Amino acid sequence: MPEFTTSDGLTLHYTDEGAGTPILCLAGLTRNGTDFDYVAPYLDGARLIRLDYRGRGKSGWAKDWSTYSIPVEARDVLELLDELALDEVAILGTSRGGLIAMALAATVPDKLLGVCLNDIGPEIAESGLEDIRDYLGIPPTAKTYEDAVKVRASLLPGFDDVPEERWREEVEKHYVETEEGLGLNYDPSLRDAIIEAGAQPIPDLWPLFEALTPLPCCLIRGANSNLLTAETAAEMQARNPDMIYAEVPKRGHVPFLDEAEALDALNEWMMLL
């Protein structure tokens, strides 16, 4: 199992597959590298690297939950690049992963070949944040994968025409089945880190987004997203007119990335890397 040890002694899991342009896939807040299983078969000519953040997936849990932060996770990314002897990488960042990518663009732009943001921007809608706080770090009420499929299909906002098989894949990726019921496959203390971060003044993230301007940039938005509003996406396009943009119908936060609109945008972006 590919893994490396961070400078603060934590063991992180990653995968490294394929050959070609290195694309580092960074998942959402509670998610892991399996999020990119759906899009991976379509990314021809890419070396696909996927990192499980600290406290998520197959990576180790931190003793100090305050290290579940974007600056520390960005440092982990750079240490992974050192581990792989990579000078540059493109980033496909979903939600939290996109925020990490913007932070890296503002601090170490020479490390980036390009950035694709999946349903994230420099302004985050409060309604989406409220939804995250409602579930973050709380074990699911569903006791089995079958129960979780029913809950997910009925409660996840903004998704239409998603087959039950896809929801089954989702719950198997992001919950673990135990004798007591379903459990989280990430450190519940992530909730403490996010609540603490939310108690601080929200920084202006637009300068981080504008740091992407010199790079090949792409934005994919779920048409029904409750985290990235249409107004914020429009402002992002106005500030970066060269940015490739796609809106995926019948998807909320976040698109799976194997939708036709997402794949068209990704292929156009990859041609610029």
Domain boundaries, the chain: 3-136+193-270, 138-185
Task: Give yes or no for residue 156 having a pLDDT over 80.
Answer: no
Q: Compute the distance between CA of residue 252 and CA of residue 223 in angstroms, rounded to an integer.
A: 6
Express each pLDDT in 77-88 by its tens digit. 999 999 999 999
Which pLDDT score is estimated for 153?
64
Percent of the chain with pLDDT over 90: 83
DSSP conformation class of 146 = H
CATH 3.40.50.1820 assigned to domain 3-136+193-270? The reply is: yes
Strand order in the sheet with 217-222: 3-5, 11-17, 46-51, 21-26, 89-94, 112-118, 217-222, 244-248
Q: Report the chain's mean pLDDT, rounded to a whole number.
A: 95
Q: Compute the distance between CA of residue 73 and CA of residue 265 in angstroms, rounded to an integer.
A: 27
**Lowest mean pLDDT across 44-58, 78-92, 163-177:** 163-177
pTM: 0.97
Q: Compute the distance between CA of residue 40 and CA of residue 29 in angstroms, rounded to an integer.
A: 20
Task: Give yes or no for residue 149 having a pLDDT over 80.
Answer: yes
Q: What is the mean pLDDT of residues 102-119?
A: 98
Instruction: Supply the Cα-derived Rg of the chain in whole angstroms.
Output: 18
Q: What is the mean pLDDT of residues 123-127?
A: 93
Listed in sequence order, the residues at least 6 apart from 126 whose beta carbon sits closer than 8 Å to its beta carbon are: none
Q: What is the mean pLDDT of residues 248-259?
A: 97
**Lowest mean pLDDT across 45-59, 63-77, 184-198:** 184-198
> Are 51 and 80 a contacting pair, CB within 8 Å?
yes
CA quadruple 96, 102, 108, 109: dihedral sign: positive
Q: Compute the distance between CA of residue 93 and CA of residue 121 in angstroms, rounded to an integer.
A: 11
> Are 102 and 209 a contacting pair, CB within 8 Å?
yes
> Are 184 and 81 a contacting pair, CB within 8 Å?
no
Which pLDDT score is estimated for 155?
63
Which pLDDT score is estimated for 179?
83
Quickly count: other Cβ atoms within 10 Å of residue 166's Cβ. 15
Which pLDDT score is estimated for 154?
64
Q: How confident is the model at residue 139 (pLDDT cuts 50, 70, 90)?
A: confident
Cross-strand pairs, 116:
92, 218
Quickly count: other Cβ atoms within 10 Å of residue 53's Cβ. 28
Task: Give yes or no for residue 211 having a pLDDT over 90.
Answer: yes
DSSP conformation class of 191 = H
Which pLDDT score is estimated for 131?
87
